[in-house]
Amino acid sequence: MAYPFQLGFQDASSPIMEELLHFHDHTLMIVFLISSLVLYIISLMLTTKLTHTSTMDAQEVETIWTILPAIILIMIALPSLRILYMMDEINNPSLTVKTMGHQWYWSYEYTDYEDLSFDSYMIPTSDLNPGDLRLLEVDNRVVLPMELPIRMLISSEDVLHSWAVPSLGLKTDAIPGRLNQATLISTRPGLFYGQCSEICGSNHSFMPIVLEMVPLKHFENWSLSMI
């Protein structure tokens, strides 16, 4: 959950999000070093009158400033591709949940159970209890077991939506007529908030996502009470 005036990412609650945070720090450090070097060279050129006559026509310099950017791009691309393949890989999911986007609410169906499905609407501001979060609370939370691989099948029944939960590193488009797939695994229990991240109409801001990650025993008790 983000807090007011937060500038960075939310705390990672999944292995994928931890990898994304590490990659962000890795890339940001490279950008910082390049920016510092360029700023230093520019300031040096503006403040000194000493120039080397052969600097502007040197094969060695041209070779370096051609090869060095290529090496830097490789250093960025390889970790990025690794995380990309990790995000697409699904190994024996313990549970499958089908998510359908509507204007403007979400529908969830636990496909491993015979009759376990529900709609999830945002709770209006006038109905909130003390301590509830405005524009983020829903009437039916998605209860899932923690520390287990879960497959999310995401689609839409009307327009483009996007199912996103930042602290779990999830953001998958919900496209009419297309079934997208995402994997999530939470390393700790708790409530994880998200929102639709694709402009989908006048009430786009009013279709939040709330995941409640609980131990497996609590999830089994909840699923039995819902059936």
What CATH number has the domain bearing residue 78?
Answer: 1.10.287.90
Give residue 36's pLDDT.
Answer: 96
Of 222, 4, 20, the C-alpha closest to 12 is 20
Q: pLDDT above 90 covers what percent of the chain?
A: 73
Could you tell me which residues are beta bridge partners of residue 181?
A: 153
If one counts the domains in the chain, the total is 2
**Same-domain status, 55 and 167:** no
Residue 1 lies in a domain: no
Residue 17 lies in a domain: yes
Q: pLDDT above 70 covers what percent of the chain?
A: 96
**Same-domain status, 102 and 203:** yes
From 40-54, 83-97, 130-144, the region with the lowest mean pLDDT: 40-54
Residue 3 lies in a domain: no
**Same-domain status, 56 and 103:** no
Cβ partners under 8 Å of residue 159, min gap 6 = 103, 176, 200, 201
Dist. CA 198–CA 3, nearest whole Å: 22
Give residue 101's pLDDT.
Answer: 95
Write out the residue range of the structural domain in which residue 22 sits.
13-86
Q: Which among 66, 86, 106 is the end of a domain?
A: 86
Give residue 121's pLDDT.
Answer: 95
Q: Which among 50, 66, 86 is the end of a domain?
A: 86
**Same-domain status, 150 and 197:** yes
Using pLDDT thresholds of 50, 70 and 90, give the confidence band for residue 52: low
The 10s digit of each residue's pLDDT in 58-111 is: 777 788 888 999 999 999 999 999 999 988 888 889 999 999 999 999 999 999
Token look-up 């999310």 returns: 152
**Same-domain status, 203 and 140:** yes
- Mean residue pLDDT of the chain comes to 90
What CATH number has the domain bearing residue 111?
Answer: 2.60.40.420
Give residue 55's pLDDT.
Answer: 61
Give residue 62's pLDDT.
Answer: 82
**Same-domain status, 101 and 202:** yes
Give residue 191's pLDDT.
Answer: 94
Residue 5 lies in a domain: no
User: Is the distance from CB of 152 to CB of 181 less than 8 angstroms?
Assistant: yes
Strand order in the sheet with 142-145: 142-145, 208-214, 190-196, 161-165, 170-174
Q: Which among 86, 106, 124 is the end of a domain?
A: 86
**Same-domain status, 210 and 170:** yes
How is residue 51 annotated by DSSP?
-
3-state SS, residue 94: coil
3-state SS, residue 13: coil
Give the tokens for residue 222: 């909840």
The 10s digit of each residue's pLDDT in 146-164 is: 999 999 999 999 999 999 9
